[in-house]
Structure 1
Amino acid sequence: MENNLVGWFEIPVTDMDRAKKFYDTVFQIEIQLQDLGGTKMGWFPWTEGKQGSSGSLIQNKDWYTPSETHGVLIYFSSADVNNELGRIEDAGGKILQNKTQISPDIGYMALFSDTEGNRLALHSRQ
């Protein structure tokens, strides 16, 4: 296989503007909005040749429903998970699990809920 197995992810949202503001604030990025014939997408920044996959916020009431307890858990990479944890609650989210060591070799993780009710995670080596 030439590429990493995961190539794209989509995070369901019910309010695209609110979700964009949350992710822009927590990760200090600028999500690009697109309307594809009734399906709204907010694309995360992506750079060719860098490690990892990219993805999108997605709003389509017929196909996507946010969930804090069901479904896939996406981990966002971080230099230190405490950086983003410090911005989550001010941006309208909720910390579900503070920074926790997975193992000395793997690093640390934390869980949070976004403004749409999705459960997501952070990972850092330190």
Structure 2
Amino acid sequence: MVLIGEFFLAQDDESARQVRPRSSHDFPAVRCDGIYPDDAVQIWEARLTGAMSNLRDVVPLANDGFTVFAVPEPLCTALAAAGRDRLRATALVWAEAASEPGDPISPDDAVDLLERAAALAGSRTEMHLDLYCWYFAP
């Protein structure tokens, strides 16, 4: 299980590479502890766009369990444009798919995370930043 993770906005890949677990930064961010965000992003994109992009690693996953990836532009656009009902429906499908025996993701937590990630995606254009995610899964 992923112990910690975060969706965040950064100026570019180089800035995103500087983000690490247990280090502070000033980027707008949404915590995503307890999930595999790379899997979530692919499910969200498939539901919201009908397609699935390859994730672009900024820091490839290594033996230490840490990675940073760029959230695909089609998903960022879809998140920013999706209404509350569409986000809720997507989150509920994702929660069902992502839950494992003994380690469920509650529907309420799934909806909350997706709504907060969508708000972050919506603010990226006006701030001239890109959406990234890091996670640590030892």
Measured against the shorter chain, the TM-score band is: 0.3 to 0.5
Question: Which entry has the higher C-alpha Rg, 1 or 2?
Answer: 1
Q: Specify which structure has the higher proportion of helix.
A: 2
Q: Specify which structure has the higher proportion of strand.
A: 1
Larger relative CO (CA 8 A, sep 6+): 1 or 2?
2
